Structure 1
């Protein structure tokens, strides 16, 4: 501010501004230092009250244990483990405060007699003792270790009992020594963030506040051990009426059964573990949240177990439930009223299902029907003029349900005659001489093969020649030689047979060949 190419007058003005700002900062720092001192006094007063109050809670628990050992014996034993942990850590913090204030003398007279000189405690007295380079000194490590040990000792004394979870969560927050991210997003070590460079009176106030947290933790634990926290948890305001159905889907006409129970949604009631259908689940707002695939169609069971810890012992609570999987509607069903038919002499694929019943609990039967190798799939090779398929399924309650469907049985449609693979072919006479006459099932979805046994061939100007087999014989070739360009040769009266099917093709259509 006072450097650069400035006039002497401007440099003097800038220097005066600096002095003025420094004076303002000095006055402000005295007020802040006094405020920290007053804050420290308030915490000390509260800590003195908490000490007496916590002692009365401890004595109350001791008295209850003498009167009713079965109910309060174990809680009192826990209190006896907690008490020395609390006292030792409280005294340790007091010794740290003594180290910080040892370089200052209390006021001997005046309105602040017996108090520390707050306004004189504007410098840090612990930086060289607690810190070393970018890390902690041995003393700094000892302080952090003592906080971590206090937290660990309390948790070990309490265990995993769900009744104290909210206290343990609070303990973790109050006495966490993990790195802290400041407002600029930079991580700092715990002691650096909370104590490094702070005025001595601020350090003292913070340590006294930590003692207050210790006493608050002690108070919460004693209250929980006595049972003073149970009134809110047991309040009827925390309960809800819950309808529990015996299963989650019912068929029309089936009796609906279930129960209505009182259930409590409580965030503090957290089990040690929850398992549903063999998989661990998460806990949200006191409720076990589970996700799983619905599975195949049919009735399914939900089983599992809550495990709570009470008085150091696991308490299991069984989970039992049912649900029913029904087919998901994903398309419209459209039926042609006169198309309920199957074809005689071929394998007709048939799919069978009953909504709400798994395929493995559904069976179908009909003359000429057999399984296709998987649930719900069948092959039907019917005879006669009609066939009835009967379907039986077992409902989730064990009762059977039966349905039947009638189908018309039709013979195979007539094949289409072809020469050289075409209905109307063209080409030179030499091409027709070596071509094969075939009969094909055009636009028919079943794999049916046809073998031609005989056909008639008519060349214009020549008599009709009857040919055995599926190729032109010598008589047909002789007649063909008389044909001229543009003549149309007709192949008709085709006789054939279905390969592997006991049924004769009928009315095979003719085909033609134009000579070019």
Structure 2
């Protein structure tokens, strides 16, 4: 533009034009610097507001942790760790800002903050980083990784936190460039200050999101439909035969971790709280309608909150029939003692008489043991005397069943099993009764094993003898060895004959 081929006048015009462009550029630069400064001011104000809000949420969590530790104590402990990490990192960034601005008396003279020298000297040394530059990177990475570890990979916040504090290499037109150089080297001082303030805002935003997720997650759990149970509320507590039942069914929230400060029922304080409910245990009283009145007392935001209790129940008059039930289904099994409960409501146990073949009195009120022998049915007759001296009687017939055939097992496995021949040689053959209502133990007394290409070997006991081991040793990979005719006896009642157990197939590997 100012080459020697131009006239002196043209050269002067061109030079003035260059100076004018430079002045415009300088003015634009000053405006940009001021814009960064004003943005930094706004971010600083927003940060202060966010700090107050996060401190209030943490204080609220602390209060809830004291009032309901089962619900909120673990959340509060996690929130405290996040708060400590966030404050340490934010305070560190504040020290960097203070250091970078230490040479500027007027902290709002943004147009004078156009030099990058103090930041470049503090963070960079040639193509490498200074100790302070490396520490700056380590602080960012440490904060990000610590939160990631606290929240876990499955947290919905983890990915956004990782992205928010990402320090990986940045793409440029020439390839890639280290994050610290890309964001801080050669930039005006005020842009660096604004970047640091923006990072402080990211910290407060992250902390707020975590606190919100902790509280929101607990609130969501509290109102989850899985925490509700149906509650039947009858119009009255007892109905006569022939009446229509009237009432309603409502949903009530079940919360085992919610513990009241105090529960009072009918003037007495209830001390036993279990699964979120007060356990009541007092005399039913005379026949008729009986009231239950009292209150639940909870502490909320440091103040007691009372929830009244107002309900009733009915005490029914004496019955005129017996109640007989089998504790292990509506059948009894031969060969084992069947526990039963026999009673007549309103009649003391010592005035109840029960008779039946194989029936004997057990230990405890209304407890009996039925040990059936032959036949397919057994009849139990019950009689008793009511308080007015009249007698009531009833009877019920129960079916008698044999103990079902057990399953043969090898190493506690049944059906089709795979194992090496060396393992089979040292395995124990057993018999088990899966899904049977009684906990019975069986003792294997013998079995037969058949290896392909070998004769069947009859074994006594529950382990392979030398003949069986010799046959197994000749089995090839892929052969299916069958164990059958598995015989067993009932421990505690060896006279009862247990049916043969089902066969087990073992594929040699």
The interval holding the TM-score normalised by the smaller chain is 0.3 to 0.5
TM-score (norm 1): 0.41
TM-score (norm 2): 0.42
